[in-house]
């Protein structure tokens, strides 16, 4: 099921997120880092190795851009797409000198119109969480080179709460800025990817460092290699 997205509302929400003090500090002060989980010191975070050894990567919903900066420092061609003009302006100023390319666009529109292809596409609590998978995954498959890798991470679904779910900006006061996020069981994520033509699919919830805390859903899939 695809929710009725209003991209003006979503853009306002993500602009507000980009303007928050904590995000400004993250972009302007902190150094490049790559991790899949929401925990800064998770001992079992699988790290960028999940993407193999790509020569080019695309991050969808790239946020602070710090993960892409990590790849750029390794000599990887790094590109990010984000809906927020405020965020894209800020991260271009911060990480553009490293060679990272940032594009301000709605992810489905961008994937449907670009001709660029990549060895890896990934999302860390990003667009894969906020975009209908039945629309997103076929477009990602078209932008991956043969044998390319898609990996995304996000919070696991709350048991019994599946499909698109509305989310207001935190605090529940002020202007009604909202977006939708998509939550499914690991097996349902695998189904979506299979339907989009992916192979070698895995979807698992990585436990939090502390028992009883929120884990991290990590999903990986590949496109078929050339004959």
101 in a structural domain: yes
22 in a structural domain: yes
Do 148 and 222 touch, CB atoms closer than 8 A?
Answer: yes
- How high is the pLDDT of residue 23? 72
1 in a structural domain: no
Task: Give the pairing of strands 118-124 and 56-60.
Answer: parallel
2 in a structural domain: no
pLDDT less than 50: residues of the chain = none
Residue count of the chain: 227
What pTM, to 2 d.p., does this model score? 0.91
Please give the tally of structural domains in the chain. 1
89 in a structural domain: yes
- How high is the pLDDT of residue 227? 61
Any residues with CB less than 8 A from the CB of 192 and at least 6 apart, and which? Answer: 133, 134, 137, 184
227 in a structural domain: no
**Residue 116: domain span:** 7-31+59-222
Q: Give the domain CATH number at 93.
A: 3.40.50.150
- How high is the pLDDT of residue 177? 75
91 in a structural domain: yes
């Amino acid at each position: 099921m695809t929710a009725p997205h209003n991209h003006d509302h979503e853009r306002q929400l993500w602009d507000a997120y980009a303007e928050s003090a904590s995000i400004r500090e993250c972009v302007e002060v902190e150094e490049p880092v790559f991790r899949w989980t929401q925990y800064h010191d998770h001992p079992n975070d699988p790290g960028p190795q999940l993407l193999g050894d790509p020569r080019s990567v695309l991050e969808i919903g790239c946020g602070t851009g710090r993960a892409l900066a990590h790849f750029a420092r390794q000599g990887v061609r790094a590109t990010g797409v984000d809906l927020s003009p405020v965020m894209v302006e800020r991260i271009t100023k911060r990480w553009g000198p490293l060679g990272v390319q940032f594009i301000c666009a709605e992810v489905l529109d961008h994937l449907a119109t670009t001709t660029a292809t990549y060895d890896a596409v990934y999302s860390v609590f990003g667009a894969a969480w906020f975009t209908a998978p039945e629309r997103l995954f076929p477009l990602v498959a078209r932008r991956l080179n043969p044998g390319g890798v898609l990996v995304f991470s996000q919070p696991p679904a709350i048991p019994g709460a599946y499909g698109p779910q509305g989310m207001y900006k935190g605090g529940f006061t002020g202007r009604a800025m909202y977006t939708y996020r998509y939550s499914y069981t690991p097996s349902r994520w695998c189904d979506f990817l299979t339907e989009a033509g992916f192979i070698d699919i895995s979807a698992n919830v990585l436990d939090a460092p502390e028992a009883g805390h929120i884990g991290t859903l990590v999903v990986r899939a590949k496109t078929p290699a050339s004959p």
